[in-house]
Amino acid sequence: MSEVKVYSRPKSWMPDVSSHYCPGCGHGIAHRLVCEVIDELGIQNDAIGLAPVGCAAMIYDYIDTDFCEAPHGRAPAVATGIKAVRPDKIVYTYQGDGDLASIGMGEIVHAANRGMNLTVIFINNAIYGMTGGQMAPTTLIGQRASTCPLGRDVKVNGYPIRVSEMLAALPAPGYIARVTVAQPKYITKAKQAVRQAFQNQVDGKGFSLVEILSSCPTNWGMRPVEAFDWLVNTMIPYYPLGTFKDFD
Amino acid sequence: MGRVLMKGTEAIAEAAIQAGCKYFYGYPITPQNEIPEYMSAHLPEVGGVYVQAESEVASINMVMGGGSTGYRVMTSSSSPGISLMSEGISYIAGCEIPAVIVNVMRAGPGLGGILPAQADYLQSTKGAGNGDYNLIVLAPSTLQECVDLTQLAFDLAQKYRNPVMVAADGFMGQMMEAVEIKPSPTRNQPADESWALGFMGERGGKRSHLHSLYLSPEPLEEHNRKLQRKYAEIKKNEQRCETYMIDDARLVVAAYGTTARISRSAVNNLRAEGLKVGMIRPITIWPYPFETFKRLPSTVEHILVSEMNAGQMIDDVKIATSCKYPISFYGRMGGFAPSVREIEDECRRILGQ
Ligand SMILES: Cc1ncc(C[n+]2csc(CCOP(=O)(O)OP(=O)(O)O)c2C)c(N)n1
Ligand code: SF4
Ligand SMILES: [Mg+2]
């Protein structure tokens, strides 16, 4: 009987390394998608990643491309600095929702508004994961977090920010899509979007961002399966999946 | 290019271009606006790029990115903008990325005013950002020195993979003087492919990874030890200082930047009266020129520190002289500089004349 290989790690995944993410965390799946796309486009030697501050701060331990860390929220500015010097390289940021939509809101809006030829992978898990589950700008109405123990109250905390819709209102950014890694059927679509976001940069088209709705079972206080169900049933209705903007 | 009359900020900008700096990230703040304006007009002529950042927080992070490619990059700002850059400067130092930052200092604290000052001495030399790091800080006293030190800054940044600041007080930025700006011999120095981002293919598939994050204490302490060894090396090699008429001096004025120019005139006038006064002028305010202070002649009885701040350099002078001499201070704040006359009077008072 001949052996059929049903699973192997992407080439750009660091050899012999397993991730530190909690069971049921979406970061690992998102990393894998980035690796697969890097492999398929053959851009490993040309890709330069910017690591965020958040649970994915150690992303460079898993993805084998050039990397620089960025201060909390500033990855789009660091990426802009690199791309100005090396427009021939594929520069990508990978950022959480606290990183991108709170402390780094200024940097992402202006990078998008310049239409800089960059790829942004934005992991929205509706919480500050790394610091232990505090309320994020994306935390849902009524969702409990360690700094809103009674649930997010819009009168006090305002509404969760729909980053993709907000950035899609700008004329410059070319591609903005929201996907999720909650279930295999969504993951296939998520991969297509990530691939599109990198392909756009290879083609010199301009700013591309993929928002990936992701899970944080640990800080949501759920088991992994419950967390993915909650993502599908509660997060997607507020954060609809889809492509908000595409190059004509 | 022979000697031309130029404004300080524009001389700094042209010097940077002649040093091979092709990438500039800026944000408006007085009194340094001519630097980003000059860069936006002239960088495209040399195939470079000017990026207008959305804030100084962004501009310093753009510098971090640009510097990580190994090419010559720069930003400039003035005091409140440098405060915002502190986090980024700490990261740049921690990640060992070469970068040049110009601070055309204005009066503080807070929004303060747009007039000249040297009130960021402590901020720049002691580090406003977090952690154990140092940046090399150069304090020009003439516009020619603004040119020369800006060009030197790029060499030092690349040599040590460290941020370098040109701390020019507002007078340096806004006055005009004749300068000669020559192309720097190192202007075409290629990026160092051994560590810079963007050369993974050239390295045969070996990636580069710039970071200051070490979650375990052992590697983080080792990283700090490595930085400290580098800083010790810089302290050994890069102290720069000028002495003026100190050989038989009883009183030495310690001053840098614009106050050193003024002090030089005061020393000349006092010498004409037969008073034994000299000057010591730190050119690097980090590393501080301890060695020159150690070699002050035995005739010295007293040191007068003069600055455009409340006396921020006094502690360094005390340390550099092991508190051997009495130290007086004469400074002005708020945008004023001490006048030649004021420094002369202070010297006469100290010498009992
Ligand atoms: C300037 C600064 N402020 C705060 C922090 C602390 N901090 C570390 S991670 C983090 C939250 C990250 O949350 P998010 O971006 O949503 O990423 P996640 O962990 O959820 O993937 C914060 C606030 C920091 N490192 N730096
Ligand atoms: S805390 Fe949340 S985001 Fe962080 S690794 Fe665990 S599950 Fe993932
Ligand atoms: Mg998060």
Mean pLDDT (whole number) for A162-187? 97
pLDDT of residue A1: 58
Residues B224 and B278 in one domain: no
> Alpha-carbon distance A163 to A122, whole Å?
9
Q: Which atom of ligand 1 is nearest to the CA of A56?
A: 21
CATH code, domain carrying A99:
3.40.50.970
CATH number assigned to the domain comprising residue B196: 3.40.50.970
β-pair partners for B167: B103
Residue A192, in any domain of the structure: yes
Residue A217 CA: which ligand 2 atom is closest? 7
Q: Which domain CATH number covers B289?
A: 3.40.50.920
pLDDT range class, residue A2, cuts 50, 70, 90: confident
A vs B: CB pairs below 8 A = 128
Tokens of B131: 């952690």
Q: Is A126 in the pocket of ligand 2 (CB under 6 A)?
A: no
- Residue B298's domain comprises 241-351
Q: Are B221 and B81 found together in one domain? A: yes
Q: What's the per-residue H, E or C state across A219-244?
A: HHCCCHHHHHHHHHHHHHHHCCCEEE
B interface with A, Cβ–Cβ < 8 A, is: 22-23, 25, 49, 51, 53-55, 57-59, 61-69, 71, 73, 87-88, 91, 95, 97, 197-201, 205, 207-213, 215
Are B229 and B309 contained in the same domain? no
Please tell me the distance between residue A186's alpha carbon and the centre of ligand 2 in angstroms. 20
Angle (CA) A182-A187-A191 rounded to 5° is: 140
Cβ B336 vs Cβ B116: under 8 Å: no
pLDDT at B353: 84
Test mutation, B101, B193, B209, chain A, max A CBs within 10 A: B209
A222 within ligand 2 shell (Cβ under 6 A): no
> Is the Cβ–Cβ distance between A190 and A179 less than 8 Å?
yes
Cβ partners under 8 Å of residue A54, min gap 6: A72, A95, A96, A98, A99, A123, A128, A129, A130
Pair (B342, B300) in one structural domain: yes
Decide: A59 in ligand 1 pocket, CB within 6 A. Answer: no
Cβ contacts of B298 within 8 Å, gap of 6 or more: none
3-state secondary structure of A88: coil
* Those residues with Cβ within 8 angstroms of residue A188's Cβ, 6 or more apart along the chain or in another chain: none
Tens digits of residue pLDDT in A179-198: 999 999 999 999 999 999 99
Q: Are A13 and A62 in contact (CB under 8 A)?
A: yes
Task: Give the pLDDT score at B179.
Answer: 98
Encode pLDDT of A66-77 as tens digits: 999 999 999 999
- To the question of pTM greater than 0.80 for the whole model, the response is yes
Q: How far is the CA of A20 from the centre of ligand 2 (A)?
A: 9
Is residue A230 predicted with pLDDT exceeding 80? yes
pLDDT at B291: 98
Nearest atom within ligand 1 for CA of residue A55: 19
Would you call the peptide bond into A10 cis, given omega within 30 degrees of 0 as the criterion?
A: no
pLDDT in tens, B47-62: 999 999 999 999 999 9
CA nearest ligand 2 atom 1, residue: A129
Mean pLDDT of chain A, nearest integer: 97
**Cβ-based neighbour number of residue B30 at 10 Å:** 15
A5 falls within a domain: no
pLDDT band at A3 (very low <50, low <70, confident <90, very high): confident
Asked, for residue A226, whether it belongs to a domain, the answer is: yes
Asked whether residue A234 carries a pLDDT value surpassing 70, the answer given is: yes
User: Mean pLDDT over residues B2-29, rounded?
Assistant: 97
Mean pLDDT for all residues in chain B:
98
Distance CA B155, CA B138 (A): 13
Q: B255 with B316, same domain?
A: yes
Pocket lining: A129 vs ligand 2, CB cutoff 6 Å: yes
CA angle A5, A18, B91 (to 5 degrees): 135
Give residue A96's identity as a one-letter amino acid code: G
Check residue B109 and give its pLDDT.
97
Quote the CA–CA distance of A232 and A239 in Å, as a whole number.
10
**Is ligand 1 within 6 A of the CB of residue A73?**
no
Q: How far apart are the first and last CA of chain A?
A: 50
The whole-number average pLDDT for the span A134-153 is: 98
Read off the pLDDT of residues B329-340 as tens digits, 9 standing for 90 and up. Answer: 999 999 999 999
pLDDT for residue B22 is more than 80: yes
Number of domains in chain A: 1
DSSP string, B269-316: HHHHTT--EEEEEESEEES--HHHHHT--TT--EEEEEESSSSTTHHH
User: Is the distance from CB of B154 to CB of B19 less than 8 angstroms?
Assistant: yes
Residues B119 and B158 sit within 8 Å (Cβ to Cβ): no
Residue A53's domain comprises 27-245
Q: Quick check: A66 and B198 CB within 8 A? A: yes
Residue range A195-219: mean pLDDT, rounded: 98
Residue A7 included in any domain: no
Tell me which ligand sits closest to the C-alpha of residue A124. Answer: 3
Q: Which residues surround ligand 3, an ion (CB under 5 A)?
A: A 96-97, 125, 129
Q: Taking CB atoms and an 8 Å limit, are A45 and B205 in contact across chains?
A: yes
| Residues A47, A48, A54, A59, CA torsion sign | positive
Note the pLDDT of residue A5. 83
**Alpha-helix residue ranges (DSSP H) falling in chain B:** 8-18, 34-42, 56-67, 79-94, 121-126, 143-160, 170-174, 217-237, 257-272, 290-294, 314-320, 340-350
Q: What is the CB neighbour count within 10 angstroms for residue A19? A: 17
The answer to the question of residue A18 being in a domain is no
Q: What is the pLDDT of residues B246-299, one digit of tens each?
A: 999 999 999 999 999 999 999 999 999 999 999 999 999 999 999 999 999 999
Model pLDDT, residue A4: 86
Give yes or no for A68 touching B (CB within 8 A).
yes
For ligand 1, whether the C-beta of A130 sits within 6 Å is yes
Measure in Å the smallest separation between the Cα of B338 and chain A Cα atoms. 40
Both B155 and B53 in one domain: the answer is yes
Q: Give the mutation candidate from B52, B54, B100, B101 for the A interface (greatest A CB count, under 10 A).
A: B54
Residue B128 has pLDDT above 90, yes or no: no
Whether residue A186 is contained in a domain is answered as yes
Quote the crossing angle between the two packed helices B56-67 and B79-94, to the nearest 10°: 30
Mean pLDDT over B172-191 rounds to 97
Contact yes or no for B68 and A81 at CB 8 A:
yes
Q: Assess whether B29 and B100 both reside in one domain.
A: yes
Average pLDDT value for residue range B185-189: 96
CA B245 distance to own-chain centroid: 24
- B166, B155, B15: which is closest to B77 by C-alpha? B166
Q: Is A19 among the domain residues?
A: no
% pLDDT > 90, chain A:
96
Q: Is the CB of A214 under 6 A from ligand 2?
A: no
Task: Report the domain count for chain B.
Answer: 2
| Residue A9 in domain | no
Average pLDDT, integer, range B83-88: 98
Give the tens place of pLDDT for each residue, B137-170. Answer: 999 999 999 999 999 999 999 999 999 999 999 9
Q: Which pLDDT band, with edges at 50, 70 and 90, does B230 fall under?
A: very high
Band of pLDDT at residue B121, cut at 50, 70 and 90: very high
Q: Write out pLDDT tens, residues B92-110.
A: 999 999 999 999 999 999 9
| Cα A177 from Cα A121, distance rounded (Å) | 10
Are residues B249 and B233 located together in one domain of the fold?
Answer: no
Same domain flag for B298 and B286: yes
Residue B78 near residue B105, CB atoms below 8 Å: yes
Is residue A48 within 8 angstroms of chain B, CB to CB?
A: yes
pLDDT reading at B1 higher than 90: no
